[in-house]
Structure 1
């Protein structure tokens, strides 16, 4: 077996499984607000709640994903969680009211959390040890591609074929995610794994403390980002440019994907700080432009700028979280990062929906720009400054020795 090989067949399978998993998520997330407000007659707040209830379930169950994998085996958890995600995806075709939608969203969110954490852990375990940063960057690229294509497909299909067609495509993607995920095998799956579980579940078995500082920055970014995915279709309708909403995500996605190889090399060569602060500034500028967008050109330009900033931040934050933890707790570090990311996304969807309903979507996006700018303060206080203090302490210890 070549331990230096990154693009093994199993790694490709789990990357594609993750792509279809997130494709289904982003397709639904982008089109669901329109479904609630037009098809079910709900308000902007109710549309935000449909996303928030999904995230609540994800936040509740994601901490247990690592424990489930240790107790029952990584492969078994991947298969079961992807199967349940598929069943929940099919259930949207039978929705007959808002209450039923919320119930499905809750179960869907729980299965999504466990499925994404378990497939993520499988990918990390497959990646050769000395190529973790590169491998994680490529793996997250598949999620970014789903982020690009999913919203475009969701908005395009609902405009042309309606919500039933959109739900059917999401179910097909969930099926593909299940087949590919069940087919992939990670090297960490062993017969001895269940016997390694402690008799009592402890707090440390659910969270990785070392990943929390960078995860707090991820929380703030996700809070602001939730306004893009959840309310873009409603915002563009308000601005009378609804037919171009899907192209916003095309521009957004292109600027996520194109600079990714450069971002990965910069992260290895010059460190994360050189990437994070400019990316936060670019993200905030893009949101300011979006808040004032009343034409197609401004909408697409803002999407490109936002994509450049957000596309550099997310893989950088995830890599910092994973590398902060010991090798045997990297899956848990990933889960910890996404717990706070999910929490920011869910809280943001609800609060921003409330603000937009009371004021306007333009004002909401301007406030998102301020929130993104504030994330630089959070990053400095909880990661950058802390890292400087640790480095200073290590230098003093070295000199005294």
Structure 2
């Protein structure tokens, strides 16, 4: 195998799988633990949202530092931080989870940027979309088994929780320290300290750069819906007869994995804006949220159909937008601007927890998912652009 499926890249994808295994457990266990301790949906949302909010905050700096020092050096340092965060989960209660989530957020900001920058720089242009799609695919594979495993741990009294966290930290560290990116293929960008774009000043590009603005808004709104699904499904499913949160999350993650593998060559990798493709993607997002919201009356079949449709939307949105930006952003500060874009994805997931929690406390889960569907419909119109390439 060659290109995005060659052994050096497969080893990086395995590292991604190990790294995100912890989250596949924590996304289920933290809401359940919070509810058992009497925490409101607002509190649970804050704890869950702290992870991605911290990731968002550090993402631009991650892109800047990686651009200067290279992905491998940064990766090896950040794996230590990740190990400390996972260890903290095993020795603290709900209050300590907030600190652990923030540490994990810092780690993820640098980890994901290091891996994605390394993949983008090391692959030829025609393979970029496959590399990013496979990265995302392997980050979702743990979600196939993780939710059901988390429910088993929860029902068993959490006895195996510390063992799982420590094991994941060790295996991730071992694989991470042995990972390499072919330096002969990796292009390290030398940034002129005078003319290079500084991290702070680059924030203005979110508004000034039309490519970045459009992609960031689509990713932000899409991620709000994804965040609301991930955080509150474990609690919402308990209200639905004959429905299981573990099966829902397993179906969603499984669909993401299958879609990203089977459709990876369908994702545009030509630097052009494909309006119909993006509008169809946002339509899937809206339909999925509607299915979940109506599941209280429509039953478990509608609930699980929503999981599968949501998985397809999730599989396509991120790699499509990331690949497009890798072509159209200015080469000299591409990594920093990609960091800002990914930060918008992080912010969206965080807002999906933080903002939607109070809405659930005031109204209901169904009402909240109807709001998510409405956001998806708005983005269908926003995704339209008659030009194949956006012009600034």
Pairing 1:78-93 to 2, within 5 Å after superposition: 78-93=75-90
| TM-score normalized by the length of structure 2 | 0.86
Helix, strand or coil at the partner of 2:4? coil
Structure with bigger helix share is 1
Distance 2:189 2:332 in 1: 15
- The answer for unaligned runs of 5 or more in structure 2 is none
Whether 1:287 and 2:289 are equivalent positions in the alignment is yes
Asked if structure 2 preserves the Cα contact closer than 8 Å seen for 1:219 and 1:341, the reply is: yes
Does the CA-based 8 Å contact 1:19-1:143 persist in structure 2?
yes
Structure 2 CA distance for partners of 1:118 and 1:291, relative to 1, 3 Å: same
Tell me the C-alpha RMSD between the 2 structures.
3.0
Measured after TM superposition, the shift of residue 95 of structure 1 is 0.9
Is the contact between residue 51 and residue 346 of structure 1 (CA under 8 Å) also seen in structure 2? yes
Alpha-carbon offset, residue 164 of structure 1: 5.0
**Partner of 1:92: helix, strand, or coil?**
helix
Selected match of 1:274 from 273, 276, 293: 276
Q: Deviations over 1:366-392 (max 9, x none)?
A: 111111222223323xxx3565663xx
Counterpart check, 1:9 vs 2:13: no
For this pair of structures, how many residues does the alignment match? 382
Q: Paired residue for 1:301? A: 305
Deviation digits for residues 114-143 of structure 1 (CA, Å, limit 9, x no counterpart): 111112222223323432122222222212
Aligned partner of residue 78 in structure 2, secondary structure: helix
Indicate the residue corresponding to 1:125 in structure 2: 121
* Matching residue of 1:236: 237
Alignment match, 1:396: none
1:68, distance to aligned residue in structure 2 (A): 2.0
- Tell me the CA shift for residue 363 of structure 1: 1.2
Q: TM-score, normalised by structure 1?
A: 0.84
Cα pair distance change 1:65/1:238, threshold 3 Å? same
Q: Please give the residue correspondences for 1:1-400 in structure 2 after superposition, counting only pairs within 5 Å.
A: 5-38=3-36, 40-98=37-95, 100-159=96-155, 161-163=156-158, 165-188=160-183, 198=193, 201-203=198-200, 209=209, 210-241=211-242, 244-268=244-268, 272-294=274-296, 295-327=299-331, 329-380=333-384, 384=385, 387=388, 390=391
Structure 2 CA distance, aligned partners of 1:328 and 1:15? Answer: 27
Could you say if the C-alpha distance between residues 178 and 129 of structure 1 is closer, same or farther in structure 2, counting changes exceeding 3 Å?
farther
Aligned 8 A contact 1:292 1:362 in 2: yes
Q: Which moves more between the two structures, 9-18 or 142-151?
A: 142-151
Q: Identify unmatched segments of 5+ residues in structure 1.
A: 394-401
Describe the SS at the equivalent of 1:185.
Answer: coil
Instruction: Measure how far apart 1:351 and its partner are.
Output: 1.0
The change in CA–CA distance for 1:226 and 1:202 in structure 2 (over 3 A counts) is: closer
Distance 2:150 2:274 in 1: 34
Structure 1 SS opposite 2:93: coil
